[in-house]
Amino acid sequence: MIPLALIAEDSADHAYIFRKALFMSGYQVEVVNNGLAASARLQEIVPRIVVLDLHLPGLSGEKLLHQIRGDERLKNTRVFLITGDAGLAEKLRDEATITLLKPISFAQLSMLATKFLPQTGAFDNSPTPSNSEKEP
């Protein structure tokens, strides 16, 4: 089964680049543009990776990170914090898998995402996402 990546990013331009990089790296990709939508979606899915902007409308990326880390279902989910806020990124560094400061290149995100692909086809993203991107 193709691993799932959830992108929580309010910038359409950044979300497009992130989606394309993850798709090209072998992920099924969903994009949400606010924290409340991300929180709701994380109640329904178990993504392999969450690409998380810290400054989201509705619910902050910091609160989403705490939600992810507090949910037993998501214990194996990798969280890539992506932000322009170096101070907040440093504060949350220990809770994230990777912390990246914007701007992030397509190649950089693609390379990192590839490192976290499952080694076998055994990873299961159940329940099946309903609004997933098939292709950017």
Domain ranges of the chain: 4-104
State the average pLDDT over residues 87-97.
94
Domain 4-104 part of CATH 3.30.830.10: no
Q: What angle do CA 115, 118, 120 make, to 5 degrees?
A: 135
DSSP bridge partners of 101: 83
Q: What is the reported pLDDT for 120?
A: 46
- Check pLDDT > 90 for residue 18: yes
Q: What is the mean pLDDT of the chain?
A: 88
User: pLDDT tens digit string along 31-79?
Assistant: 999 999 999 999 999 999 999 999 999 999 999 999 999 999 999 999 9
Range 16-30 burial, b when 16+ CB lie within 10 A, else e: ebbbbbbbebebbbb
Q: What is the reported pLDDT for 121?
A: 41
d(CA 13, CA 95): 26
Q: What is the reported pLDDT for 103?
A: 87
